[in-house]
Amino acid sequence: MASVSTARAGRFLGLSEAGFHGVSYLEWGPATADRVILCVHGLTRNARDFEFLAEALSQSARVIAVDVVGRGGSDWLADPNGYAYRQYVADMTALIARLNVPRLDWIGTSMGGLIGMMIAASANSPIERLILNDIGPFIPKAALQRIADYLGIENKFSTIGAVEQYLRKVHAPFGALTDAQWSHLAKYGHRPGSDGSLALNYDPRISENVLKSVEDIDLWWLWDKIRCPTLVLRGVDSDLLLPETLDQMRKRGPGADTIEFPGVGHAPSLMAENQISAIRDWLKLER
């Protein structure tokens, strides 16, 4: 298995109405590998969430994990109104062009899955296989309200230990992570604050557009356009991807394969061995 130190850092320029912005990404595995996998994180997360998964998959694939603009090592937008799916899709399209590959597999957690759905539903999409982690074409208002309740608070911490305790509480639905994995999330999930404190590693203004639209979201029209093979992962206790939505995802659109993980809510961390094995097996990658 590749070590964390073998991740290669990359960066490219995205374009918004306010000008150019830098987008950072990490890459593992052979640059010449036939299989290319792009991993995109959730709303407040970053590329480092995929490090454990990438190490496993990079034995037989080229794996890329990106910091969506406003998160991790990527720039913050001058205008917070730009934190919208139109921008995210444009940036990911620029990244795919930079990678210079005709086809790739997509693994998207929550927000990253929605971006993947939008690209996969487009004509002549480069996505060959789509894996959605605890996200679907219907998102209930109650789940969005839960996320909005913590997203709109700009937390400050005095130590990395305090950051970790906060993440353990807010992201308890990730499931049974090891101490080392929680430490990993805290290490890459914080940034220095302007007053000497520590803050979470994203632009707090990403909350502005989210708070404007706390309502049921219906994207079935998008789902029905997807034709590539699709796998949907769900935490059994998820409040964001409902059981009835998952059932319809099996019957409509691409007719998704589905796997559910007990003891997990929104969203499976993709750090647990059974989750990594499920992805590797569905993608038919060598162990």
Q: Which of 204, 254, 210, 205 is nearest to 229 (CA)?
A: 254
Read off the CATH number of the domain in which 110 is found: 3.40.50.1820
- The answer to whether position 161 is within a domain reads no
- The answer to whether position 262 is within a domain reads yes
More confident residue, 5 or 122: 122
Report the percentage of the chain scoring pLDDT > 70. Answer: 98
How confident is residue 61, by pLDDT bands cut at 50, 70 and 90?
very high
The number of domains in the chain is: 1
Residue 267 scores a pLDDT above 70: yes
Residue 132 scores a pLDDT above 60: yes
- The answer to whether position 99 is within a domain reads yes
What is the C-alpha separation between 237 and 227, in angstroms, rounded? 28
Per-residue pLDDT of 21-41, as tens digits, reads 999 999 999 999 999 999 999
Q: Which of 21, 35, 102 is nearest to 64 (CA)?
A: 35
Mean pLDDT for the stretch of residues 94-104: 97
Residue 3 scores a pLDDT above 70: no
Per-residue pLDDT of 183-215, as tens digits, reads 999 999 999 988 899 999 999 999 998 888 889
What is the C-alpha separation between 159 and 287, in angstroms, rounded? 39
- The answer to whether position 229 is within a domain reads yes
Q: Provide the greatest CA pair distance for the chain.
A: 52
Instruction: Find where tokens 């219906």 sit.
Output: 218
Domain extent at residue 117: 4-140+220-282
pLDDT of res. 194? 83
Angle at 224 between CA 141 and CA 214, to 5 degrees: 15
What is the average pLDDT value for the chain, to the nearest integer?
Answer: 95
Give the amino acid at 270.
Answer: L
Q: Which of 88, 85, 83, 211 is nearest to 147 (CA)?
A: 211
User: Hey, what are 193's tokens?
Assistant: 């604050």
How confident is residue 97, by pLDDT bands cut at 50, 70 and 90?
very high
Give the amino acid at 13.
Answer: L
User: Hey, what are 109's tokens?
Assistant: 């957690």
Residue 176 scores a pLDDT above 70: yes
Angle at 192 between CA 17 and CA 144, to 5 degrees: 60
- The answer to whether position 190 is within a domain reads no
What is the C-alpha separation between 161 and 67, in angstroms, rounded? 23
Alpha-carbon separation of residue 274 from 34, 56, 163, 241, 242 (angstroms): 25, 12, 27, 20, 22
Q: What is the pTM of this model?
A: 0.96
What is the C-alpha separation between 188 and 177, in angstroms, rounded? 16
Report the percentage of the chain scoring pLDDT > 90. Answer: 90
Contacts 24+ apart (CB under 8 A), 57-60: 57/28, 57/29, 57/276, 57/279, 57/280, 57/283, 57/285, 58/2, 58/28, 58/29, 59/1, 59/2, 59/29, 59/285, 59/286, 59/287, 60/29, 60/33, 60/35, 60/285, 60/286
How confident is residue 150, by pLDDT bands cut at 50, 70 and 90?
confident
pLDDT of res. 4? 43
Mean pLDDT for the stretch of residues 166-182: 96
Mean pLDDT for the stretch of residues 239-259: 98
- The answer to whether position 122 is within a domain reads yes
Residue 268 scores a pLDDT above 60: yes
CB atoms within 10 A of CB 103: 14
Residue 55 scores a pLDDT above 90: yes
